[in-house]
Amino acid sequence: MPHHTPLIGTIVAGLVVAFIMGAIAHRLKLSPLVGYLVAGIIVGPFTPGFVADAGLANELAEIGVILLMFGVGLHFSLRDLLSVKNIAVPGAIGQIAVATLMGMGLAHYMGWPLLGGLAFGLALSVASTVVLLRALQGANLVDTRRGRIAVGWLIVEDLVMVLALVLLPALAGVMNNADAAGGANAGALLAPLLGTSLKVAGFVALMLIVGRRVIPWALHWVVHSGSRELFRLAVLAIALGVAFGAAVAFDVSFALGAFFAGMILGETPLSRRATEETLPLRDAFAVLFFVSVGMLFNPSVLVDQPLPLLATVAIIIVGKSIAAFAIVRAFGHPGDTALTIAASLAQIGEFSFILASLGTGLGVLPAEARDLILAGAIVSIFLNPLIFSLIVRSNKREEAEKLPEQPRMGHVILVGYGRVGKLIGQRLAERKAHFVVMETDPDRADEAEEAGLSVVRGSALEDRHLLAAGICEARRMLIAVPEGFEGGAIHEHARHLNPDLQVIARAHSDAEVAHLEGLGVPHVVMGERELAAKMLALCGAG
C-alpha cells in the first residue's frame, strides 16, 4: 500500500508549511494570513521544490469557504448592525462603489472586459474580517463607538459580497451567451438574473420558514442526547449539508447556503457552543483555503507588472481609506473615528480571494488580475498593522472610554469569564471582594458588565491590558481560562509586572499541572482531582 497519495501530500504539505510560515509571521507581528499565503506560494507550481495537487487543494478550499462563511453567519449580529446602521450601511455601500469604480478604471486601462473589471473592483473593495477584528482587539477598540462602526461596516460589506457571489455566475452566463449570439439585449440580461433572484428568494424563504424551526430543534435534541461528539458532528452536518443542498436544489453558491446556516444557528442559545466546537476544524480548513489561494499566485507579477501592482495597492490602501474617511466625516463623526475606520479598511482578505477564485473559474477575470489581487492582499495585510498602530497612537481620546476605573489596593484579577470564571465572579461579588475581570470574548465581557462587574476587554498576554487591570497593585490573580499552557504564559507575563502576585491557575491534565508547577505557579487546581476528592468525601471515603 503506498504511503503517499496526492490528497495526503497536499494536506500535510499545506498544513506543515502554513504552520512554519504562520509562526514566522506571528513572530514578526504580522497577520498569520500572510504566512498562510506565502506557504501556498512555496508549495505552488510557480516555485521550485514540492508541488501540491492544485485540483485537490481547490476542492479542500471549497470546504474552507463553506466553513468560513458559516463562521461569518454565526457572528452576524443584526443588533450590532442596527446600532450603527445610519453610518455603516450608507458608508459601506458608498465605499464599495468608489473602490469598485477605481478598480474598474484600472481594469479598463489594462484592457480587461467589463465584467472582469467589476469582479476586480469588488475584490478590492472589501476588507478582511479576520484582519480587522485582530487590529481592533489589539488596540482594545472592539467595544468603542468607532469599533462598533467598523464591525458594522464590515457586516454590510460581507452581505454585499454574498450577493455578488450569487449574481456573478448569472452575469457571467449572460455575457457568455451574449458573446455566442453576437450581442446582448435587455431580455437576455433580465431573464437569468430574474431566475437567479427567484431561486435565491426561494432558498431564503425556506431557511427562514423551515430552517429556523428545524435547525434549532435538531440541535436541542442532540444536546439532550448528552453526546458532545454528536453535537459537533451535527453542527458540521448542518453547515456542510445546507451549503451543499443550496447548491444542488437551488443552484446558489455554497457560500450563501453556509452563511444562512450560520446566521440561523447564531440566533439560538447554542451558538457559542457551536462556535467553540467547530472552531478547530474551521481554522484548519480556512488555513488550507488561504494556502490554495497562495498556490494560484505567480510571483512573476511583481517583476512583469510593477506599475499595475502599485496601482492596485494604492486603491486598497489609499483610495479606499480616503473614501471611507470622507464618508465618515461627511456623516458628522469626529476625525479619530474616521481615521480608525479608514485604517481598518486599508486591506483585503477572505472575500477578495473567494471572488478572485470565482471570477477566474468563470472565465471573466484574467489570471493576471487574480495575481494582482493576491499580491495586493499580501502587501496590504503586511502593512495594515503598522498603519493601524500609527493612527491609533496618534489619537488616544477614546482610551479613557475603554479603560474603566479599577480598584488599586490589593484587588483580585480574574482572567476569563467562561463557565468557571462566571462562578468565581459570582462568589467574589457575593463576598463584596474588589476584583477586575479580564476577558477577550465580547459576549462574555458584555455578560460580566451586565452583572455589574469591572471589566477590561483584552488579552492577559498583553502588558498594556494587564496594566489597565491594575496588575501592579493587585494581590492575587485567578486564571480561569481552560487551557493550562495558556495559563502558564499569562502567569509569566503577570509575574514579570508584579513579582509579589499570588497566582491560582486552572488545569485539565497532569501534563498541564506539571507545566504550571514547573513555571512556579504556587496553586494549581485540576478539575478532575477536585471532583474525585469531593465525591469521595461525600461517600465517606475521603
SS3 of 473-531? CCCEEEECCCCHHHHHHHHHHHHHHCCCCEEEEEECCHHHHHHHHHCCCCEEEEHHHHH
How many residues belong to the chain? 542
**Across 486-503, average pLDDT:** 88
pLDDT of residue 399: 47
pLDDT digits (tens, 9 = 90+) for 406-420: 445 678 999 999 888
More confident residue, 435 or 381: 435
More confident residue, 148 or 221: 221
**Across 268-295, average pLDDT:** 79
pLDDT digits (tens, 9 = 90+) for 324-371: 999 999 998 888 888 888 988 898 877 888 888 888 888 889 888 988
pLDDT of residue 137: 62
In whole angstroms, give the CA distance from residue 11 to residue 4.
Answer: 11
pLDDT digits (tens, 9 = 90+) for 298-336: 888 888 889 999 999 999 999 999 999 999 999 988 888
CA 18 centroid distance within chain: 17
Percent of the chain with pLDDT over 90: 18
**Across 26-39, average pLDDT:** 81
Residue 224 has pLDDT above 50, yes or no: yes
Question: Could you tell me which of 482, 524, 481, 533 has the C-alpha nearest to residue 505?
Answer: 524
Q: What average pLDDT does the chain have?
A: 82
**Across 185-190, average pLDDT:** 59
pLDDT of residue 142: 64
In whole angstroms, give the CA distance from residue 431 to residue 417.
Answer: 18
Q: DSSP labels for 229-250?
A: HHHHHHHHHHHHHHHHHHHHHH
**Across 293-301, average pLDDT:** 81
pLDDT of residue 309: 93
Q: Which of 15-24, 156-165, 189-198, 444-453 has the lowest mean pLDDT?
A: 189-198
Sole residue written with cell 495526503? 8
pLDDT of residue 481: 87
**Across 466-477, average pLDDT:** 88
**Across 227-239, average pLDDT:** 86
Q: Which of 144-158, 177-191, 238-252 has the lowest mean pLDDT?
A: 177-191
pLDDT of residue 182: 53
Q: Which of 126-130, 468-472, 491-495, 504-508 has the lowest mean pLDDT?
A: 126-130
In whole angstroms, give the CA distance from residue 422 to residue 446.
Answer: 12
More confident residue, 25 or 395: 25
**Across 46-65, average pLDDT:** 79
Percent of the chain with pLDDT over 70: 89
Residue 17 has pLDDT above 90, yes or no: yes
In whole angstroms, give the CA distance from residue 279 to residue 276.
Answer: 5
pLDDT digits (tens, 9 = 90+) for 521-539: 888 888 888 888 888 888 8
